[in-house]
Structure 1
Amino acid sequence: MYIVEPDSVVSELNVVTSKKDMYNFTYAPDTAGSRIIATKWQSDKGREASAYSEADYTEVKEAAKGALPLKVIYIAAIAIALVAAALIGYAYTRRAKK
């Protein structure tokens, strides 16, 4: 399954189908905006060749409650890594001076 996000980033989700070729998934976007969703099926056990669905356009009016935007999570992780590196560097230079 492919989801084209509002910023044109394509997310790929792997979904497993049941024996009756049905699937179910939950998607809770962290931002509002329009998305395009399409699916692709791989062939298996002598069935037909791979197939694609028609693209479906959907509009998310409100982000999932409690969801943090992925960019905020990335920025926070980078900030924590930089602070940790600075503290380690400071501790190392203090230890080297002794």
Structure 2
Amino acid sequence: MDDIIHQILDIDARAQQKLQQAYEDRDHMKEKLDGQVAEIQQAQRAVFEEKVQKVRDSRKQQENSEVEKIREAANAATQKLAEQFESRKDEWLRQIVDSVLNG
């Protein structure tokens, strides 16, 4: 009878050890998986941030292109006005003087 009790206690002790080892393995696996999840999230975040930056860069380039077109159009209009002024200034000056003198 003592032998059976001793075997039962021995089996129980081994079962406790296996259970403890299973808990430790589970905890280790959880830590490992948590680390892998964090790495994956960081990698995904980096990819996302890179895509966002590419979109920002593209928009900025498009905005710069549009600003340059507007600037060129404004410069062309200013140049045209300057040319018109230069070609007509004598005529306009004469008209102003005539209008002042002739009332």
Does TM, scored on the shorter chain, surpass 0.5?
no
- TM-score normalized by the length of structure 1: 0.34
RCO higher in structure (CA 8 A, sep ≥6): 1
Higher strand residue share: 1
Between Structure 1 and Structure 2, the one with more helix by share is 2
